[in-house]
Structure 1
Amino acid sequence: LITSVASALLDNVTTMLLMTPMTIQIAIALGVNPLTLLIPEVLASNIGGISTLIGTPTNILIGSYAGLAFTDFLTNLTPGVLLAQIALTVYVLVRYRAQFLGGESGLSEALLNRLRESGRITQPVKLRQSGIIFGVMLIFFIVGESIHLAPAVTATIGAVAMLLWVSPDIESMLKVVDWTTLMFFISLFIVVGAIQEVGLISIIAAAISRMVGGNLTAAILVLVWSAAFLSGIIANIPFTAAMLPVVGFLTRTIPGASNQVLFYALSIGAAMGGNSSLIGASANLVAAGIAERAGYRITYKEFFKAGMPAMIITVAIGTAWLFIRF
């Protein structure tokens, strides 16, 4: 639940960068396999990020293309996200029940002391400065539409303020960058770009457009579920980027779609669909990279076995919410 809320405010990739190392330590102390906690956290992160414009990379793409504001995602998708999160929690408790019951009843005093020491704030002034900048950015994300301030401008101003006021050690930051995962992303996007150039994604998009015709209900169902399953194969960021013109066309031509419901359908399908495979979402790969460096490898098969049922359950709830809301 903490991961889900943090993902809505920080974005899911940043959240997993922060949560993964801590989760591994806690899992070891509890006597459970760290992946028992880590995989559900990633799933929750991808779902929680749907609530806001900045929560997932796919929402940022959708918001920029469709002109949706921070509050649009917050008011239209948050209730559905909460319902999906409840269902995910129940699913996780049932799926990992044996592992949870087999662990220790609590954290040892030795581990608590070690966590306190490793989590000690060494630069409180910089922490306060960063907190102030983040708080101001969050306010401008919320009210930005009313003062005609684009989210990208807010984020850029925040980044510049961090560099000038907080003055982080750039060299030390570059040393802890997960270059392996970064290179994987670069390679993945090259492959997907090649697929897009040869026309495969366009063929898929055109097929979806033909399937829905002028029926809004069919359009919502096809968009949500095709996005959900294809995001696990192609990866949700490039898939979303390719689908935006198609969704824009359908929004203009299908009666009743002017309320932007199809963009919300794409948001739910792409973000929740990223839970079906290890390459489906950026947060999945970030968490897997950190876990592997710590000696705990998340395999594609293991992630699929846990993520696919969760994806189907949560996408079904997300679809139902769209019909209730719109």
Structure 2
Amino acid sequence: MTDAKKPWIAGAISLAMLPGFLGILLGVPAAIGQSSEQTTAHPPGKTLFDFKDSDVKFSVQTLMNILRDNRHEGWVLAAYPDPKTSRPLIGAGFSLDVAATEHPQTDPLNENLFLEPSSAELWQAAGLEPERLQRILERFNRDLESWTKKRYRRKVMQHSLAPELTEEEAMRLLRISAIEAIHNARAYCRNFDELSGPQQLALSQLVFQMGVNLEGFVEFLSALNGDTSYRDLSMPDGVRATDAETWRLVQRTLVESQWARRYTTRAQTVIAMFDPDYARDPGRAIRLVNAMLPPPVEKHRRRRPPVHALRAGVDGGHSGSPPGKKSRIERKRQVT
């Protein structure tokens, strides 16, 4: 069997094999995801996928700080509903009820495998008790039934939900999720180790925020991996693009995406990080991206009538009666 075929076989790991495969990586029993009596929580001192901070060229803490920012994922220490799906989230958007997902590696030139563990597996890998997750989910479901979604969101904005995690526990969940994103970023990008620190950070952030939906960014992934199936049409045939031109193409594929049009403010920094000169001059890189991005989408709100229109009946001697009709006072004057 040739080496070129091995990634295809490895990428076809079935969902049934996932708990055992995850156990090998984490150093925990293969029974994770089964009954709580048969499992042991992952020791909090270990990290997912035997990851070391020195494996990447950026600070993992920097990524975590970005993700817990209110302009990105936010930071809530109690379970709350996703604004779109109403599914339970906690911390910096950690999903509490996601099942393990099969995510085959379809790139025969990339030997790195995708891994999409369940929420329960990541929860235990962070050193948290399975029974506690179940209690949080039960409480969330009760509250979601008794409260309206709008009321739930209001409580989140007012910080009136009782904390269900400590800051330290939420940070452990965030770190385990960030490391999972870095792991899968390698599976998306063949030359991940050759990227600059900002480029690795940008790709890891995209994976964290989009998950398997990043598969839909076909042009971006093609340009990122240097495939000839998607190239800059402005380049003459046979002319090899420079490194700077290649990264401008990568950026352009993101600029032209619906994601960039919908989340312009968030997108500008992420896209700018793919500029090979970002570390030297971040401001210039961001300005170049801003010149390519469309203006942010404005949310249209119903306008209230001007104050002077509402007060027309009492200010300036106007009666406020419809045109052509006399006010009750004027009719009374005519009678008398």
TM-score normalised over the length of structure 1: 0.24
Question: Which of the pair has more CA radius of gyration?
Answer: 2
Greater RCO, 1 or 2 (C-alpha within 8 Å, sep 6+): 1
TM-score normalised over the length of structure 2: 0.24
Higher helix share goes to which structure?
1
